[in-house]
Amino acid sequence: MGWQVYGTNGVGMSLTQVVWAYRGQYRIENDWSRLKGRPLGLTPLYLQDEVRIEGLVYLLSVALRVLTLLEWQVREGLRKDGSKLEGVYAGQAGRKTARPSAELLLGVLKTISLSVIEVNGQTHTLLSPLTKVQKRLLKLWELPTDLYGKLTRGFPKPPPKTSEP
């Protein structure tokens, strides 16, 4: 066992509130560890300009916020429903979770594909059909289920070729 010292500037908080608030800090630290890992990858770079380094750190911190927001919104929706999400683990279709990571959630979306082809001067688009899990994620994120379908409508013409290969 041992001793821990807790300090706070929240003078109106009880000891119990301070201890529980402190115990939740590891979650925040785990999120910041994503900056050092593979999802965002803030690793030693060969950037010389201080402004570029600051810009990259700022951009990656925004990406981290987006990841944690995606994760939180799904987890909160599942908690409110009292349900679990199924089909997010590769190779384990029946495995369920109430606390999926953002990386798992984005992995579910990576199978969505949009193909754009031009035939006889007409542009055609083909969108892969959304799976049940993908539709559920869009619902949990409070996004319209036809979000990806809207990409196929009014797709701009491809730019003209400027040179031949």
Q: Which mean pLDDT values do the consecutive 10-residue runs of the chain (165 residues) have?
A: 70 81 64 67 70 84 88 95 92 91 92 87 86 94 89 68 61
Provide the domain limits for residue 149.
111-154
Residue 78's closest CA among 145, 140, 144? 140
Report CA torsion sign: 74, 138, 134, 42. negative
- The b/e string for 90-107 (b: 16+ C-beta within 10 A; e otherwise) is eeeeeeeeeebbbebbee
* pTM as predicted: 0.69
Q: Establish if 116 belongs to a structural domain.
A: yes
* Predicted local confidence at residue 63, as pLDDT: 85
Residue 97 identity? T
Number of domains in the chain: 2
- Count the residues in the chain: 165
Q: Does residue 137 contact residue 105 with C-beta atoms inside 8 Å?
A: yes
Q: Establish if 119 belongs to a structural domain.
A: yes
Q: Establish if 67 belongs to a structural domain.
A: yes
* Predicted local confidence at residue 17, as pLDDT: 82
Cα-Cα-Cα-Cα torsion 76, 77, 81, 83, nearest 10 degrees, comes to -80
Which residues does 136 contact at the CB level (< 8 Å), separation at least 6?
85
* Predicted local confidence at residue 160, as pLDDT: 65
- Rounded alpha-carbon distances, angstroms, from residue 138 to 48, 73, 77, 104, 133: 41, 11, 11, 14, 9
* Predicted local confidence at residue 155, as pLDDT: 64
Q: Establish if 62 belongs to a structural domain.
A: yes
Q: Establish if 163 belongs to a structural domain.
A: no
Q: What is the SS3 assignment for 51?
A: helix
Q: Establish if 6 belongs to a structural domain.
A: no
142 and 77 in one domain?
A: no
Q: Establish if 132 belongs to a structural domain.
A: yes
* Predicted local confidence at residue 134, as pLDDT: 94
* Predicted local confidence at residue 130, as pLDDT: 93
Separation of alpha carbons 163 and 132, rounded Å: 43
* Predicted local confidence at residue 98, as pLDDT: 94
* Predicted local confidence at residue 163, as pLDDT: 63
87 and 119 in one domain?
A: no
125 and 93 in one domain?
A: no
106 and 133 in one domain?
A: no
115 and 101 in one domain?
A: no
Q: Establish if 34 belongs to a structural domain.
A: yes
